Amino acid sequence: MRGTQSFRMWAVAALMLVGAVLPRLGAAQGDAVKLPDIEKDADRRIAIGIAKYPDLPAETIGSPAENVLAFDFELSGWFQPVPAGMLPPRTLDDWVRRGAEVLADVERTAGGVRGAVRDTGTGEILFERNYTDASGPLRARLHRFTDDVVLALTGEPGLARTKLVCEWDPDDAGRSEKRLVVMDIDGFAMREFTGEDALELGPRWTADGGSIIYTSYASRYPDVYLHSVTMGTRQIVANHEGLNAHGDLSRDGRFMALTMSHAGNPEIYTKDMASGMIRRLTSQGGSDASPTWSPDGRRIAFVSDRTGRPQIYAMDPDGSNLERLTHRGNYNTAPDWSPDGTRIAYCALRSDGFQIQVLDLRSGQVTTVTDRGGCEDPSWSPDGRSILYSQTAGGRTDLYLTNVNERKALRISRGSGRFTDPDWSPIP
């Protein structure tokens, strides 16, 4: 167990990089301590004590505030929550004995909530801020507090205010057909997205987080729709004869990649969103699917079974420079580019079932990040450190996320029904 002193050094180094967020620690800036490399030290989580907060009762937010914070800090990938437990610590020394390096304090103030983080060794306040009642629902303010703490102590953006969109099959006798739902990344605040009474599949956020592109059978046939989250309006963006699916907008929003079958078998196309002009990129037999833009817009990864079994390929947006990316196994599907464009996560069928794998495009190295089987449809976190996916096990299908280095699965979806094909929103 690392002591508080080593944490202090680490935190100070982090704060130096953030840029003197907390002037009171400025005196330590002369220490030439380097922020640990994220890849190497990804398992180095800060142990954060989560006290009980009696003046923030569960009924106001659906669950106790300490649960909300513990989940958010765990989700961030940077903190390991240390719960108060049955015999809550009363002093900072009690927290030190529990292994907590820092302690999160949240308390009601006049007209708001004050969040603070203290060093359990010195008692020093590392971050504090007041969140007024006017700034939103309490749960949203707790998410905001977590993100602020993550940024202040690590220099990295937090994820607590991000959302996900996924397919949801209520799986009951009255209705068993998928609809799109949006929820907070901690699985709460779930709502049906379109309100349409039709089969809906394959939702993807646009890069600005303002819209969701998906496939709907509202016309009876599969068409691609673009639905504004903020305006609540939607438009059909592809409804040719046959299949129109797997819509994915380039980051600049100018081009949509998609799968269509009006020329025969399913092929990959792009559509110029301004002129409406379509361009066919593939012309092989077999099933092509799941086109997905690289973050820089220079490549499109997709799935094709042109060799007999589905594998992942990449090509330029005009269809040239085709390269096969996966070579092991005979079932590799559902590619998703990491936000920095250096890795692709995908679903691989192995001897131990469907697993999520990550291909490093620079080294060619493949890493398996799940181990229980039944895992599909990976989606990167906007910080590129975690992957959200669906897993079918024990008669349920739920959403999980895993930090790609630690590979510890955290369940996200709650409640009944089956949750599939999630997509993680950008950071708001």
Partner 1 sequence: MRNPKWSWLSKGAAVLAVAAFVAGCGGSSPQVVTEPELPMEEPTEPTTPPAPRDTTSAYVDPNTQYAEDFRAIHFEFNRYRITEEAKPRLERIATLMKDNAAWKVLIEGHCDERGTNEYNLSLGENRAQSTKQYLVQLGVSETSFQTISYGEERPVDMGQTEAAWAKNRRAEFRIEAPRS
Residue with tokens 């002193």: 5
Closer residue to partner 1, CB minimum distance, 67 or 287: 287
Q: How far is the CB of 197 from partner 1 (least distance, A)?
A: 6
Interactions with partner 1, residue window 7-46 (CB under 8 A): none
Query: Of 154, 162, 357, 420, which lies in the binding site for partner 1, with binding defined by CB under 8 A?
Result: 420
CA atoms within 13 A on the CB side of 403: 19
- Bridge partners of residue 389, in order along the sequence: 400
Give me the torsion for CA of 104, 107, 113, 114, rounded to 10°.
-50
- Is 241 a binding residue for partner 1 by CB under 8 A? The answer is yes
From 59-67, 117-125, 172-180, 315-323, span contacting partner 1 (CB under 8 A)? 172-180
Interactions with partner 1, residue window 173-212 (CB under 8 A): 175-178, 196-199, 201-202
Query: Which contacts (CB < 8 Å, 24+ apart) does range 399-403 have?
Result: 399/164, 399/166, 399/187, 400/375, 401/75, 402/356, 402/369, 402/370, 403/42, 403/77
Closer residue to partner 1, CB minimum distance, 204 or 385: 204
What does the alpha-carbon distance between residue 11 and residue 35 come to, in Å, rounded to a whole number? 9
Query: Of 56, 70, 243, 314, which lies in the binding site for partner 1, with binding defined by CB under 8 A?
Result: 243
- Is 325 a binding residue for partner 1 by CB under 8 A? The answer is no
Closer residue to partner 1, CB minimum distance, 122 or 235: 235
Query: Of 156, 376, 398, 423, which lies in the binding site for partner 1, with binding defined by CB under 8 A?
Result: 376
What does the alpha-carbon distance between residue 353 and residue 355 come to, in Å, rounded to a whole number? 6
Q: How far is the CB of 343 from partner 1 (least distance, A)?
A: 18
Residue with tokens 């969701």: 212
The beta-strand segments (E) located in 64-195 are: 79-83, 102-109, 112-119, 125-132, 163-169, 179-184, 191-192
- Is 240 a binding residue for partner 1 by CB under 8 A? The answer is yes
- Is 306 a binding residue for partner 1 by CB under 8 A? The answer is no
What does the alpha-carbon distance between residue 89 and residue 166 come to, in Å, rounded to a whole number? 40
- Is 278 a binding residue for partner 1 by CB under 8 A? The answer is no
What does the alpha-carbon distance between residue 137 and residue 160 come to, in Å, rounded to a whole number? 14
- Is 315 a binding residue for partner 1 by CB under 8 A? The answer is no
The answer to whether 80 touches 408, Cβ cutoff 8 Å, is: no
- Is 368 a binding residue for partner 1 by CB under 8 A? The answer is no
Closer residue to partner 1, CB minimum distance, 344 or 347: 347
Helix (H, G, I), strand (E, B) or coil at 59: helix
- Is 349 a binding residue for partner 1 by CB under 8 A? The answer is yes
55 Cα distance to chain centroid:
31
Give me the torsion for CA of 382, 423, 293, 333, rounded to 10°.
120
Closer residue to partner 1, CB minimum distance, 15 or 348: 348
- Is 422 a binding residue for partner 1 by CB under 8 A? The answer is no
- Is 266 a binding residue for partner 1 by CB under 8 A? The answer is yes
Q: Which residues bind partner 1 (CB under 8 A)?
A: 167, 175-178, 196-199, 201-202, 215, 217-222, 239-243, 245-246, 259, 261, 264-266, 286-290, 303, 305, 309-310, 331, 333-334, 347, 349, 354, 376-377, 420-421
